[in-house]
Structure 1
């Protein structure tokens, strides 16, 4: 029987599937209303991979653009989405902002002419590149000032009443959302860029700008290293794992969608649902990946416990797929030494429980200095977490990482035996 899988592990959750995050949503709603009142403020959204940061940003976009009401009010923000890569420079970031604004604002010959005049400095940016230079004689500082003036001019024009504006519509403000900001390189100098931008706009009399930055927890260190005061402009929001009622809600909504897509209802037995909840560990992406694999093995009408187990731990199952997406790079590319991986293998024996350095040392095959270097490197790269307020206590990010390490070890051992037989 052909069936459409209702779980969607490869895309952010839509508003209809969204669950939890009430505190974060309410905080961002307040910031949107503050920005509309010309008291712009930013938010910093952090959390582990798969925790739902991009899905929350999508929800914020729907709210800012008026598709979802905020306190009974339909907002009308100009929204710009930007992704950061390791190659993104300040020149590239400015160009991305300019291109996004041009696409949304310069839709007629008249507005294109006005927009081109406001942003004419971009040609000089293309010629010389840009990086903030706070020295008074720096040419690049002057280019950054022109960028700020152009953005301020644009904000002042688009937030005025429609009849007084050159552009086709009036907006409550501008929301710039920067996702995957933990990819920012030191040359981007993101903390300085954002802080100085807010200060320059304030001097120009407009605070209709709201910047939302999202990334892994290390983004805080990236911003601080760039500018010690950069975090002051952000409301910090850390996404934690979803609670069991929220996970149940997501599963129910997905299965309701299955009935719509397939024309017949899909049920999940209680033991299978409980197992799916435990496996997902409160990560929205994991819920969808484990659910997708389980549904794929089911008859489409009932998901049972065996479907969930085989879908998770079977060949090319959910754990392998999650591992390839989230863990393989940490395990192989971010660490180049077998001694570092040995620490992860030892820790995986305790899943995601806290492990003492003594526990690791007693099982580690190598010098004490090598162990110290391994733990330091794994901590600095965010691959293992250290317990706040307790020295020498560490854990893996989640149980899924531990399961993947164990399964990966077994695969490597099988491959070695196969090679030896040849």
Structure 2
């Protein structure tokens, strides 16, 4: 039995970085600026499945020096990674940063003592009985000041090669990666947090901090709402869909990887490859999921068009798996009203083409007020997209969402009958 070369459950599969050279190069320049004490951040935006986490992993390896940059620079950044949930408060965010730094820096007794001294203010708060996920009874302004000074002190010690009172390792700077930032709640005030942090560090004369924030496109609005000028500290990078030639490159890389791990060659016939490219819609994760299911149905030597079709649309196939991962939450958990789902079902008839409100209304079973409420709710939650510069025209995020909705409707009909 051959090992499946496609990796839909891994954020860094073969060929995942096709077409991302401009974004990689832009972040590499920020690394060099940060190393020169002129740090700022980058904002990585894109739809689910577009490859944000994979790119973050690559940038992490570059920052740590595991791999060189495009210009063959070897960096030495202290990289810490933080995930945000809907429950993350400013206090818990600070605590997560402190824990990540402690894990990387406090490895010997002397450095552990030094670290605990610098971050002692958090110990005092914990001693007072405050839970990690709350800010109750905590003076947030004072908390932020203490945090800023502690981070500035840490930065000075990890980047200064000449002081005796430093940690065991010396670094070019600190890269703080904040993923899933679209989960940030209003109380966290993420935009204000990072903007004021950079200003405080600048006053302290230490700017060797680089913050990378990644999330869905709505992350940009979350930052602006928190602080209108927070975007100024970020290089904004939007990951778009890959071109057909990029997807073709991914498939060729996967086939090369298959030969490496299996010794024998696997071939995708041209019609099957064209169908995989069409189905993936430019999403790196999708091509790996469709490819994985097609490979499983093949003889391991040749992937046919039939393998691709059955792997995509069959029971427990790629569309079902992608839907469970990316669409089910939008369709069920974010929508509690059946009329909202009715709008999505009508739009799914047109796949991801633009659909007018007039067309939706012609098929909608309900009042115009109910329809207006449904469209407004779906837009505000990012489930449907509005056509820029045109009123009353909308579409679904991608064809995969439409296919999943249609398949889901058919499955529900069978259950009812």
Equivalence for 2:30: 31
Q: Is the 8 A contact 2:16 2:54 kept in 1?
A: no
Instruction: Tell me which residue corresponds to 1:420.
Output: none
* CA deviations over 1:363-387 (Å, ceiling 9, x no partner): 1111111111000000000000001
> 2:4 aligns to what SS in structure 1?
coil
Give runs of aligned pairs for residues 11-410 of structure 1, distance below 5 A. 11-14=10-13, 17-70=16-69, 71-126=71-126, 127=128, 128=130, 139-161=139-161, 164=164, 166-410=166-410
What SS does the corresponding residue of 1:187 show, helix, strand or coil? helix
Question: CA–CA distance in 2 between the matches of 1:216 and 1:194?
Answer: 18
Secondary structure of 2:11 counterpart: coil
Q: Per the alignment, do residues 336 and 17 of structure 1 end up closer, same or farther by CA in structure 2, a change over 3 Å counting? A: closer
Q: CA RMSD in A?
A: 1.7
Whole-angstrom CA distance in 1 between matches of 2:386 and 2:264 = 48
Q: Is the 8 A contact 2:157 2:163 kept in 1?
A: no
1:1-59 Cα distance to aligned partner (Å, 9 max, x none): x1211111111025764211122111111111111111111111111100000001011
- The answer to whether the aligner puts 1:3 opposite 2:2 as a matched pair is yes
Secondary structure of 2:187's counterpart equals coil
Structure-2 change in CA distance of 1:139 and 1:413 (3 Å): closer
For normalisation by structure 2, the TM-score amounts to 0.96
How far, CA to CA, are the matches of 1:20 and 1:151 in structure 2?
36
Return the alpha-carbon distance in structure 2 between the equivalents of residues 291 and 15 of structure 1.
12
**Contact 1:162 1:168 (8 Å CA) reproduced:** no
1:291-322 deviations in Å (ceiling 9; x for gaps): 00000000111101000000000111000010
Whether contact under 8 Å (1:91, 1:129) holds in the other structure is no
8 Å CA contact 2:15–2:254 kept in 1: the answer is no
Going from structure 1 to structure 2, the CA distance change for 1:98 and 1:160 (only over 3 Å counts) comes to same
Structure 1 residue 262: deviation in Å? 1.8
CA distance in 2, matches of 1:408, 1:132: 39
CA positional deviation for 1:205: 0.6
**CA pair 13-390 structure 1, distance change in 2 beyond 3 A:** same
Q: Is the contact made by 1:157 and 1:167 (CA closer than 8 Å) also made in structure 2? A: yes
* CA shift in 2, pair 1:118/1:67, >3 Å: same
Count of equivalent residues: 412
Q: Could you list the structure 1 runs, at least 4 aligned residues long, displaced by more than 6 angstroms after superposition.
A: 129-133
Taking a change above 3 Å as real, the CA distance of residues 165 and 59 of structure 1, as seen in their structure-2 partners, is: farther
User: Please, which runs of 5 or more residues in structure 1 have no aligned partner?
Assistant: 418-422
Q: Secondary structure at the match of 2:236?
A: strand
